Amino acid sequence: MDLYPLILAFPLIGLLINAVLGRRLGVRGSGAVASVAVLLSFVGAIQAFIKVRHLVALGDGEARLVVRLWEWIHVGGFSADLSLLFDPLSVVMILVVTGVGFLIHVYSIGYMSHDRDYARFFVYLNLFMLAMLLLVLGDNYLVLFVGWEGVGLCSYLLIGFWYDRMFTTKMSNAAAGKKAFIVNRVGDFGFLLALFLIFTNFHSLNFDTVFAAAAHHPAATGVMTAIGLLLLLGATGKSAQLPLFVWLPDAMAGPTPVSALIHAATMVTAGVYMVARSHILYALTPDVLTVVAWVGGLTAIFAATIACTQNDIKKVLAYSTVSQLGYMFLGLGCAAFGGGVFHVVTHAFFKALLFLGAGSVIHAMSDEQDIRRMGGLRHKLPLTFATFLIATLAIAGLPGFSGFFSKDEILAAAFSRQPALWGLGVVTAGLTSFYMFRLMFLTFFGKSRVEPERAAKLKESPPVMTVPLLILALLSIVGGLIGLPPVLGRHLLGGFLAPVFEGLHHIEGFGHAEHLSASKEWLLMGISTVAALGGFLLAWTRVHKVGDKEGLFAKSRNGFYRLLEDKYRVDEVYDLLIVRPLSKLARFCWRVVDELVIDLAVNFSGLGVRLGGELMRLFQNGRIQSYAFFMVLGLVMLLIRVLVQQG
Amino acid sequence: MFDYNHALILAFMLFTLGTAGVLLRRSALVVFMSIELMLNAVNLVLVVFSRLRGDLDGQVICFFIMAVAAAEAAVGLAIIIAFFKRKKHVDLDRASLLRS
Amino acid sequence: MTNWNVSLLAPEIVLSVCALLIMLLDPPLRRKRLAGFSESVALVGFLGALFLGLMRIGLPVDSSFGGFLIADALSTYLHILFAVIGLSVLIMSIPWLRRDGVRQTEFLVLLIFAVIGMMIMSCSAEMVTMFIGLELLSLPLYVLAGYLRNRERTIEASLKYFLLGAFASALLLMGIALQWGTYGTLHLSSVAPGSGAAPLSLPLAAAGFWLVVVGLGFKVSAVPFHFWTADVYEGSPTPVTALMSTGTKAAAMAVLLRLMSAGFAPAAIEWMPVLWWLAVLTMSVGNLMALVQANIKRMLAFSGIAHAGYLLLAICAGGTAGNAALLFYLAGYTVMNLGAFAIVGLLEGKGERFQSIYDYSGLAKRNPWLAAMMTIFLLSLAGIPATVGFMGKFFIFTETLKAGHIGLVVIALLNSLVSVYYYLRVIYLMYMKDEWGEKPVCRVPASVGILLAFTTLVTLWLGVAPNRLLDALMAAARIF
Amino acid sequence: METVLFYLFAALTLASGLMVITRRNPVASALYLVLCFFGLAGIYVLMDAYFLAAIQIAVYAGAIMVLFLFVIMLLRLEPTELPSFMNSWSKRLYVAVTLVLGGVFLGLDLMRTVNTGADSALTGEAGAIADRLFNRYLLPFEVTALLLLVAIVGAVVMARRESPKPTASMEEV
């Protein structure tokens, strides 16, 4: 039986069941319903994958299945249907979404077992799956936008899930959710404007029609550029890129499985998916593509520096997510659309694993998130530790692990396009390795700094949580094998995705990407490995070796510089040249830009708008005659206009 | 025969006087009277044009306006009475409870 | 020979008969404790009008009373809309009348007459009838606004509405007089620059036109003729506010549409820049003001002003599709506002104590269903996808863009961006805040429950499956 | 002769209109309004709109204004202070905008003067008006009937005595 046409129905049914009966089912029952719903979707996704793969193997170019569910809008010359488009790109995405999603649903059963509101939680999660599938499977921009708004709404609801808690001393969880929503609206504004422009220029929102029209009769360069930039604005909102990244770190206020699912593995990659989907539009405007690359590269390094200074386990991971998303945009911007999608896949594995591992730690630590009050947890949480280590190795890009291959593909593309971007990528790789191992050492190694009453309750999480960790760990190790570089073997994912990006061949400058020579390939791999190892060594020497000493953190607050000055002569130079500026930059970014950007972009614009409202409120003074006066004033202005025009 | 244009000007002046009354007077009753003044200005315009065009329709419309004015007067005065009963005044400057 | 086909007025006649029945029979029956008589008659009247309106769908364009009355698809559509509005307001007001112990006979009579006024406005082909319809709509509303005349705020709202309304009527009348004087006719299709004879005086004709626009702008609460809106909405009983925010606006908007798309379409170049600014001001002021409101009715009032701005956008867009988009959004706006006001009416409690948005804190815990439905209405007003609000905005914005008003669309998009904030604030309070003082759990009468279910379903349904209505409206917009 | 009469009536109308909005005592305002209506009725007569002049006196001056006076007496309104536009900037602004409005109207009127040469010598007699009213304008006429009904109901609602029980019915009217 084919389940894939029903792929949307399962989460819908799941959420309806939980909305009505959730309370009565208990946390296990409710969680089971939600998980089974997603599992069925996953099975559907696998079926779709098999079919599409078969079609790809046939190689007649039309490797796609379309399921028309609903005639949505048919009016005048405009039509948008609710059709599901299963092509290699969307199939890869739904495999990740439903697969990782399923594991996270299972994990949530354990994680949410002590929460009163589990039913609401699973309703939101299933709603999110529904919206995400809609986003990925829609065959036109309008359906994509519906899903886009839907996942945003779920994200908002889930960030504010524990609305009664405070996220930071200044910000409640609910406020964090609101901030996420508002920042996202800025992106959505760009996205919507792009949709309107696309529609007025190509008279359709259907992917096929738009891309065909754009490829053969592109609109004026200015319009195409505007479309590209506005879509990018939308993508930066959803995928937390510069300048709209500010909401993602605050989104960590949500329960950790949510952070894993929405704010790491799936939703935040929607921007990447959207840009990859619109690759034709971007290929037609190479300048915009360069902007994409630079936005990605700068976000990657920018967020990585901030991650180096964070002490909240989830915040480190959040900035890491922003940084990795930057990688994906870097890849897209370097026309390695397949590479970007590849990184989406591997990142989903290891970042979900990291978050779930962090969740396991937080769960065991009775909701403690500060890594300064952890340490030595590897003995108490062996499974969590092992899987977390694997994920760290994967994200750090050590050879053989999944992150290595996807990162390498992006770096190779960047190298052949613009060496400066490659440089950004390599430095980011080193920083990534550093902050991840720093996190690792502070959390799992060294002496325990856990408060005694928490230490007493410390124990490994139940199997319902650890089994998903193990599966994800396995995927984090082998996940990279689907995309081996040319020198090592076949790029399975690239071959699978090829029909999607076929249209690029017709566009000048986007023919078959010339492969780097084998020696260069090896060299690049070597350099990124060295960067990863360098980051590891830095963390080892600076955090692990001295990390147990009292006062480390007090000093580090004044910069790493002083800490290292009397220890390593070599590091002195390194410090002066890189770490100190970076640390300053990070501090600057974090303190000034982050807080300032928040204040400016959110509060200030809010304030400005409010001021306008307050000002106008003065006129709304309750006086009939003042109201009549404004009517007369308006009338007089209209009549003067007549007078001037007629005279 | 007098210049109908002057009659039109008279109508506009009356209309403006009415507007001034609406804007300036504090008593709801006088404001309402000023609105009546405006309606009469409208009627004058209609009569003048009716005469100019040789079309009775204008006077018929006047008739409707008078009917509407009567209806408005009935309702409006009742509202003013009710307002007075509750507040013991009809001063519009003191009627700004509802505001932002 | 003039055509006196009275059957075109069937819905109005049915409603008038019902109103007369109530007036004549209610007192003696009430003495015999036959409660519920007038409600049932009013219900039957609205259902009958709805039925008659539905029966007219698909019939060819017809006119009567020597061309004073036009029965085209637009008027049919609006008759149906007004019958639905009347029905909904009736359903909303019955629990309110009982709760606050208000005399209901006159309330129902005035409600029915107001709806008749709207209907007359929608089917009048010339301005005298239109104006009398407008008055027939306004006079009952002046009274209904102050129906609880012992409450200070209510009677103040009534007085404000009356004085400003009468003032606006005077301006409108001067416009009509000048139109008639310069063109010699008031038929909407021929009162137009460029159609038929030249006016006696072009400046006076233009002045007349703008006076008419100001008069109608007052009713649709376009900025800067909008100031009465919030005050009157706040002070009036909530069912009346619902009637004002949906019915009045729809009726005046329909007349404006007839005026602009039929008679004045050739002069678009004259009025377009003004309408452009009117739309921009209306959207922006509405949204900005809504941001700073703490009273839910005021907030909805300003949101209604902002929505009037979006509707003006559709008039700027023009054309068949633009008009269809306007009519579509009108339906959506009506449905979501009726729903929202129904909930406000339920929650405000006896004496309308709970109208602050902070009274909605923790509603999700007290009344999860009401909170969920309110969320849907607010999301729809904010234009979130899968609701009619999104669909309507989408159509209007695309049509406006197609007509070449890119700047207008950008401003409108920015506006809807801002608007999310204040709608969201209420949702945020409902779901993410604890209760603010003790509030009674609200009991939902079955009738209002049905109304809410209906409006929720339509809000979602038109967001998911807008095709049939849109197709019908496209056909309608092509004909009139 | 007619011209002289017209300017006489016009002056009367304008002067009494000015008085309406400047008298402290509402009774005085109302009486000046009646005077103003008489002036207008005179002008109507000059334009041979006899029927209209008659109902101007009967309906406006007779019915509506009596209603006004009645209400003023009923409320025993004290004379209010004059419009205080000399000491309030908002009132000054209001005066300014009204003056501009008047100026604009005059400008619009004088800009392209209506050709008033061809006088139609139309006479507004009751029969002719009634013919229009009951033929061409039948629809608005019927609706006006409803409007007057609404006005009665509305006035009753707003002005009726406080009833002991809220459910008391209409027949006390």
Fold of B28-90: Helix Hairpins (1.10.287)
Q: What is the largest CA-CA distance in chain C?
A: 70
Q: What is the DSSP string of C347-391?
A: HTTTTT---BGGGGTTHHHH-HHHHHHHHHHHHHHHT-TTSHHHH
d(CA C103, CA B82): 16
The mean per-residue pLDDT over the stretch C107-129 comes to 93
Residues in A closer than 8 angstroms to B23, CB to CB, are 625, 628-629, 632
Partner-chain contact A182 C421, CB within 8 Å = yes
Amino acid at C223: V
Residues in B closer than 8 angstroms to C109, CB to CB, are none
Q: What is the pLDDT of residue A590?
A: 52
Residues in A closer than 8 angstroms to C398, CB to CB, are 78, 196, 199-200
Q: What is the pLDDT of residue B67?
A: 93
Secondary structure of A365-424 as H, E, C letters: CCCCCEHHHCCCCCCCCHHHHHHHHHHHHHHHCCCCCHHHHHHHHHHHHHHHHCHHHHHH
Q: State the pLDDT confidence band at C244, using cuts at 50, 70 and 90.
A: very high
**Distance (Å) from the C-alpha of residue D139 to the closest C-alpha of chain B?**
12
Residues in D closer than 8 angstroms to B73, CB to CB, are 64, 67-68
Q: State the pLDDT confidence band at C73, using cuts at 50, 70 and 90.
A: confident
Residue A433 phi/psi, 5-degree rounding, is -60, -40
What would the two tokens of residue C373 be?
């439905």
The mean per-residue pLDDT over the stretch D24-42 comes to 92
- Percent of chain A's residues with pLDDT above 90: 10
The mean per-residue pLDDT over the stretch C423-437 comes to 79
**Distance (Å) from the C-alpha of residue B45 to the closest C-alpha of chain D?**
11
The mean per-residue pLDDT over the stretch C181-191 comes to 79
Partner-chain contact C169 B18, CB within 8 Å = no
- CB contact C234 to B (< 8 Å): yes
- CB contact D139 to C (< 8 Å): yes
- CB contact D96 to C (< 8 Å): no
- Percent of chain C's residues with pLDDT above 90: 47
Residues in C closer than 8 angstroms to D135, CB to CB, are 2, 66
Amino acid at C303: S
Q: What is the pLDDT of residue C479?
A: 64
Q: What is the pLDDT of residue C304?
A: 94
Interface test with chain B among C156, C171, C234, C305, by most B beta carbons within 10 Å: C156
Q: What pTM was computed for the model?
A: 0.86
Q: Among all residues of chain D, which has the CA nearest to that of C148?
A: D158
Q: What is the pLDDT of residue C197?
A: 63
**Distance (Å) from the C-alpha of residue B35 to the closest C-alpha of chain C?**
6
What would the two tokens of residue C14 be?
């049915």
Average pLDDT, chain C: 88
Q: State the pLDDT confidence band at C430, using cuts at 50, 70 and 90.
A: confident
| Interface contacts (A, C; CB < 8 Å) | 149
Q: What is the pLDDT of residues D106-130, one digit of tens each?
A: 888 887 777 666 666 777 788 888 8
Whether the per-residue pLDDT at B73 is higher than 90: the answer is: yes
The mean per-residue pLDDT over the stretch A450-469 comes to 81
List residues of chain B with CB under 8 Å from any CB of chain A: 19, 22-24, 31, 92-93, 95-100
Q: What is the pLDDT of residue D173?
A: 33
Partner-chain contact C106 D149, CB within 8 Å = no
The mean per-residue pLDDT over the stretch B35-54 comes to 92
Q: What is the pLDDT of residue A560?
A: 45
Q: State the pLDDT confidence band at A305, using cuts at 50, 70 and 90.
A: confident
- Percent of chain D's residues with pLDDT above 90: 37
On whether the CB atoms of residues A317 and A351 are closer than 8 A, the answer is yes
**Bridge partners, residue C368, by sequence:** none
* ipTM of the complex, rounded to two decimals: 0.93
- Which residues, other chains included, contact A320 with Cβ-Cβ below 8 Å and sequence gap of 6+? A303, A304, A307, A351, A354, A395, A432, A435, A436
Question: Where is pLDDT greater, at A449 or D27?
Answer: D27
Q: What is the pLDDT of residues A417-445, one digit of tens each?
A: 888 888 888 888 888 888 888 888 888 88
Q: State the pLDDT confidence band at D39, using cuts at 50, 70 and 90.
A: very high
The minimal CB distance from C110 to the residues D111, D115, D154 is found for: D154
d(CA A209, CA A228): 17
- Percent of chain C's residues with pLDDT above 70: 94
**Distance (Å) from the C-alpha of residue A13 to the closest C-alpha of chain C?**
18
Q: What is the pLDDT of residues D7-17, one digit of tens each?
A: 999 999 999 99
The mean per-residue pLDDT over the stretch B42-70 comes to 92
Matching residue, tokens 């007077």: B25
- Of A67-71, B3-7, C256-260, D65-69, least confident by mean pLDDT is A67-71
Characterize the bridge pairing of strands A78-86 and A65-75. Answer: antiparallel
Partner-chain contact B2 D7, CB within 8 Å = yes
Q: What angle do CA A567, A569, A572 make, to 5 degrees?
A: 90
Partner-chain contact C289 A633, CB within 8 Å = no
- CB contact C296 to B (< 8 Å): no
Q: Note the helical H segments in C292-356.
A: 296-317, 319-347
Partner-chain contact A621 B96, CB within 8 Å = yes
- Which residues, other chains included, contact C405 with Cβ-Cβ below 8 Å and sequence gap of 6+? C276, C313, C316, C317
| Interface contacts (B, C; CB < 8 Å) | 127
Whether the per-residue pLDDT at B65 is higher than 90: the answer is: yes
Q: What is the pLDDT of residue C195?
A: 55
Q: What is the pLDDT of residue A81?
A: 80
- CB contact B95 to D (< 8 Å): no
Q: What is the pLDDT of residue B68?
A: 95
The mean per-residue pLDDT over the stretch C284-308 comes to 90
- Of A516-520, B40-44, C194-198, least confident by mean pLDDT is C194-198
- CB contact C437 to D (< 8 Å): no
The mean per-residue pLDDT over the stretch A254-263 comes to 84
Q: What is the pLDDT of residue C381?
A: 94
The minimal CB distance from C160 to the residues A612, A620, A624 is found for: A624
The mean per-residue pLDDT over the stretch A122-137 comes to 90
Residues in D closer than 8 angstroms to C64, CB to CB, are 139
Residues in A closer than 8 angstroms to C288, CB to CB, are 609, 612-613, 616
Residues in D closer than 8 angstroms to B23, CB to CB, are 94-95, 97-98
Q: What is the pLDDT of residue A622?
A: 78
Residue A459 phi/psi, 5-degree rounding, is -155, 160
DSSP E strand boundaries for C89-213: none
Residues in C closer than 8 angstroms to D75, CB to CB, are none
Q: What is the pLDDT of residues A70-104, one digit of tens each?
A: 777 777 667 778 888 888 889 999 999 999 999 99
The mean per-residue pLDDT over the stretch D155-159 comes to 88
- CB contact D109 to C (< 8 Å): yes
Q: What angle do CA B50, B54, B57 make, to 5 degrees?
A: 50
Residues in A closer than 8 angstroms to D113, CB to CB, are none
Question: Where is pLDDT greater, at C41 or A242?
Answer: C41
Q: What is the pLDDT of residue A206?
A: 86
- CB contact C174 to B (< 8 Å): yes
Cis geometry, peptide bond prior to residue A243 (ω within 30 degrees of 0): yes
Consecutive H or E run containing C48: helix C37-55
Q: State the pLDDT confidence band at C220, using cuts at 50, 70 and 90.
A: very high
- Of B82-91, C261-270, C398-407, least confident by mean pLDDT is C261-270
Partner-chain contact B23 A623, CB within 8 Å = no
Distances (CA, A) of C435 to A250, C119, C357, C424, C441: 25, 43, 12, 17, 11
**Distance (Å) from the C-alpha of residue B64 to the closest C-alpha of chain C?**
8
Residues in C closer than 8 angstroms to A177, CB to CB, are 428, 432
Q: State the pLDDT confidence band at C365, using cuts at 50, 70 and 90.
A: confident
**Distance (Å) from the C-alpha of residue B52 to the closest C-alpha of chain D?**
6
Question: Where is pLDDT greater, at C272 or C30?
Answer: C272
Q: What angle do CA C262, C268, C272 make, to 5 degrees?
A: 125
The minimal CB distance from D108 to the residues C66, C109, C204 is found for: C204
Residues in B closer than 8 angstroms to A624, CB to CB, are 31, 92, 95
**Distance (Å) from the C-alpha of residue B17 to the closest C-alpha of chain C?**
13
- Check residue D92 and give left, alpha or beta (phi > 0: left; psi -120 to 50: alpha): alpha
Q: What is the pLDDT of residues A178-190, one digit of tens each?
A: 677 777 777 888 8
Residues in D closer than 8 angstroms to C109, CB to CB, are 153
List residues of chain B with CB under 8 Å from any CB of chain C: 15, 18, 22, 28, 31-32, 35, 38-39, 41-43, 45-46, 48-49, 52-53, 55, 57-58, 61, 64-65, 68, 71-72, 75-76, 78-80, 82-83, 85-87, 92, 95, 97-100
The minimal CB distance from B79 to the residues C142, C176, C181 is found for: C142
Average pLDDT, chain B: 90
Cis geometry, peptide bond prior to residue C224 (ω within 30 degrees of 0): yes
Whether the per-residue pLDDT at A554 is higher than 60: the answer is: no
Q: What is the pLDDT of residue C102?
A: 78
Q: State the pLDDT confidence band at D86, using cuts at 50, 70 and 90.
A: low
Residue of A310, A360, A339 lying closest to A403 (CA atoms): A339
Consecutive H or E run containing A67: strand A65-75
Partner-chain contact A613 C163, CB within 8 Å = no
Whether the per-residue pLDDT at A59 is higher than 80: the answer is: no
**Distance (Å) from the C-alpha of residue B43 to the closest C-alpha of chain D?**
9
Q: What is the pLDDT of residue D164?
A: 43
Q: State the pLDDT confidence band at B43, using cuts at 50, 70 and 90.
A: very high
Question: Where is pLDDT greater, at B73 or A20?
Answer: B73
Residues in B closer than 8 angstroms to C174, CB to CB, are 15, 38, 41-42, 45
